[in-house]
Structure 1
């Protein structure tokens, strides 16, 4: 089971929707808190409907007009009951439908106002006494994306657990990945390997841009197949699938591996920046790989 939090620093652009979807799928995330969306309430429904229609979602627009906190979860593996919401925090009860494990989960995005933020942390500290869960990955979870002379790093993101959590979930670990399209690192809390079933066929949106895509679909669909309507439908779909698999083999083979290689290069770049934070060469490399 995987929990994740990511301050995305603006969530209006489709490229960021795709990045979050890829992150969600590749890491088999069960529930994801997306922070600092900057999406107005009148646009949120469209974003969720077009990009995240396979996920259940909750946004705290009732408490803040910018929807500072979004929750996205996989309804096939996770059940979420919202217990309380504020402008800075959404508290919920989460049940993992595969293992039956349940826990309380709070997603916090503190206010820029010192007094308001301190009041929140004071209240949470009194209620549950959280401690910072030791993590791995990026030492600094935020950077300003400036050039070498003005580059700044800081640890702004944390995963906090209380003593009850530490006693009940002894194998949980925190990991902070490279920021990618954001200026904040996504934070992941893992219970154990989440072995979700894999699909035998996946549709790649990149196929739509290939000049032969429509021709392949039409030619494989229009075959004269005998039998009842359901048999004809399934046969046509199977023929189209075979045609698209050949298209993939001929023109898109290993594209996912190439994307993973680039992301690994970016992650290695951030590792190098940990010891050479103002290196102009590394910063130029990071900016090129982040595009």
Structure 2
């Protein structure tokens, strides 16, 4: 099962939404959690714009004015919902991973900023875990670093950091290592790791190969987290199409001509054969878009790594913005 969370700081901007869709399309996700949506109402249209296909289940927590808001979307062929519990800063879905018949709970978290409010959130999460009585994954933005090395140039940590470590120990949670980057939140020269995934031992007994990695943060100041089981996916490769194809005046004409030439073959056979001229046409008119995006994302990550290492100036920030604009285009 592959689960991702992302603090996107609002769905309304076209740039933010396009980055979420691009990230979702490149990552074969079974469940996607979005934090700080800033939306009081989430509709099926909103979900379909993000998920891109039918068969999605979802639950959400409304924003408070122009702040907060949570959205959790999942593939209904992968996860079957049993119960849903909600708080102001968290949402927990309890259900079954259908393929493995594994009953579990996934809790999306957006941590508070004040110590007293943080402790209230952790107490509520403890109560929900006890109520569900199944393996649990807590995933999201906890607004708290646990160790000095998780905050750039920090010499001390707040008292709430000790509270947070005590809560994790009391709950017997495992803080999954993030091996491909040091920090998950960036603002100017400030960097921290405040986004994380905490799982119970029962989760790791079922999925011992669970690992955590970061994705490209795009326009957000947070990196998305991707939690996945390391076993390889053995299913068939899906037929993919790109929105950009349909903006080219010659695309549909080419498809119609190629389709007619395939005659009376079975539909799936025709789709398989059609992929060859489509690939050839794509290369001729668009080049290797995936490779171009990958190179831009590598350059963006290099800039983030330089900031993480202590290098920061206006030139770096301008370079990052230019790279993001090119990647979006």
Q: SS where residue 263 of structure 1 aligns?
A: helix
Is the alpha carbon distance of 1:163 and 1:78 closer, same or farther for their aligned partners in structure 2, counting shifts above 3 Å? closer
Deviation string 1:12-50 (CA, Å, 9 cap, x unpaired) is: 234433322332343322211111111341x63322234
Correspondence for 1:143 among 172, 179, 186: 186
Partners of 1:225 and 1:232 within 8 A in 2: no
Partners of 2:61 and 2:71 within 8 A in 1: no
- Which residues of structure 1 form unaligned runs of 5+? none
Tell me the C-alpha RMSD between the 2 structures. Answer: 3.4
Alignment of 1:1-291 (within 5 A): 1-41=1-41, 44-54=43-53, 56-61=56-61, 68-112=69-113, 114-125=115-126, 127=130, 128-144=171-187, 146=188, 151-166=189-204, 169-195=207-233, 197-199=235-237, 201-217=239-255, 219-220=257-258, 223=260, 244-291=278-325
Which 4+ stretches in 1 moved above 6 angstroms? 224-227, 231-240
Q: Once the 2 structures are TM-superposed, how far is the Cα of residue 111 of structure 1 from its aligned partner?
A: 3.9
Q: SS where residue 183 of structure 1 aligns?
A: coil
Is the alpha carbon distance of 1:64 and 1:97 closer, same or farther for their aligned partners in structure 2, counting shifts above 3 Å? farther
Please report the TM-score for the alignment, with normalisation by the length of structure 2: 0.71
Q: What is the CA–CA distance in structure 1 between the aligned matches of 2:120 and 2:210, rounded to whole Å?
A: 28
Corresponding pairs, count: 281
Q: What is the CA–CA distance in structure 2 between the aligned matches of 1:206 and 1:267, rounded to whole Å?
A: 25
Is the alpha carbon distance of 1:196 and 1:225 closer, same or farther for their aligned partners in structure 2, counting shifts above 3 Å? closer
Partners of 2:185 and 2:192 within 8 A in 1: yes
Q: What is the CA–CA distance in structure 1 between the aligned matches of 2:62 and 2:288, rounded to whole Å?
A: 44
Is the alpha carbon distance of 1:285 and 1:198 closer, same or farther for their aligned partners in structure 2, counting shifts above 3 Å? farther
Q: What is the CA–CA distance in structure 2 between the aligned matches of 1:237 and 1:18, rounded to whole Å?
A: 28
Q: Once the 2 structures are TM-superposed, how far is the Cα of residue 206 of structure 1 from its aligned partner?
A: 0.9
